[in-house]
Amino acid sequence: MQLNMTGRHIDISDAMRDYSQGKVDKLARYYDRITSVDVICEQEASRYRVEMVVRADHKHTFVAHVDASEFYEAVDLLVDKMGRQLTDHKDKVRNRKHSKTGLRMPEAE
């Protein structure tokens, strides 16, 4: 999985890059077909706005962003959001052939 980090009005330090890489590597447990991850960091006054764009197979793209007072807090919240999106997508893909609506029997009156 490839990680691209971009900073707007902020310099990305090695500690920030390493922390982000460690958190992004954990996304593979939610969905294993991730090809690349883009993390865009922006600093406005005392707030950090971090956006994550995850690209997976079959041109699926997932986007999430978080505003927080600290960069590391924003990355933690962002990984949680992205984990939910990837889990929902995985469940949808896995269960699309086994729809429960088609299996219901009409109730007898």
3-state secondary structure labels for all residues of the chain = CEEEEEEECCCCCHHHHHHHHHHHHHHHHCCCCEEEEEEEEEEECCEEEEEEEEEEHHHEEEEEEEEECCHHHHHHHHHHHHHHHHHHHHHHHHHCCCCCHHHCCCCCC
Into how many domains does the chain fold?
A: 1
**With 60 as the cut, is the pLDDT of residue 104 above it?**
no
Residue 101 in domain: no
Whole-number average pLDDT of the chain = 90
CATH code where residue 30 lies: 3.30.160.100
- The predicted-structure confidence for 41-91, as pLDDT tens digits, reads as follows 999 989 999 999 999 988 999 999 999 999 999 999 999 999 999 999 999
Give me the pLDDT at residue 109, please.
Answer: 57
Mean pLDDT value of segment 20-24: 95
**With 80 as the cut, is the pLDDT of residue 25 above it?**
yes
Residue 108 in domain: no
